[in-house]
Chain A
Amino acid sequence: MNNDTLRIGGRSLASRFFIGTGLFPNPFVQKEAIKASGAEVLTFAIRRVNLDAVEDDSILQHIEDDAFQYLPNTSGASTAEEAVRIARLARASGLSDWIKVEISADAKTLLPDPIETLRATEMLVKEGFTVLPYISDDPVICRRLEEAGAAAIMPGAAPIGTGLGILNPYNLGLIVEEAGVPVIVDAGLGTASDVTKAMELGVDGVLMNTPVAKAKDPVMMACAMKHAIEAGRLAYLSGRIARKKYASASSGLEEFILK
Chain B
Amino acid sequence: MRNKHSVELKVNGVKHSLEADTVLDVIAHFGLKGKPIIVEADGVILTPEQWSDKAVASGMIIELVHFVGGG
A187 to B71, CA, bound (A): 8
The answer to whether residues A92 and B13 also contact, given A22-B70, A46-B66, A58-B68 and a CB cut-off of 8 A, is no
Asked if A17 CB lies within 8 Å of chain B CBs, one says no
Within 8 Å by CB of A58, from B30, B35, B45, B70, lies: B35
A75 to B69, CA, bound (A): 11
Return the CB mask of A61-84 against B: 1 if under 8 Å, else 0. Answer: 100000000101101000000000
- Contact assessment for B70 and A73 in the assembled complex, using a CB-CB cutoff below 8 Å: yes
Count of A-B contacts with CB under 8 A?
100
- Contact assessment for A24 and B69 in the assembled complex, using a CB-CB cutoff below 8 Å: yes
New contact pairs (6) apart from A61-B36, A89-B63, CB-CB < 8 Å:
A21-B71, A46-B66, A58-B67, A59-B68, A90-B38, A95-B67
Cβ of A127 to closest chain B Cβ, rounded Å: 12
**Interface size on B (CB < 8 Å)?**
23
Shortest Cβ distance from B64 into A: residue: A49
A92 to B37, CA, bound (A): 9
Return the CB mask of A4-41 against B: 1 if under 8 Å, else 0. Answer: 00000000000000001111100000100000000000
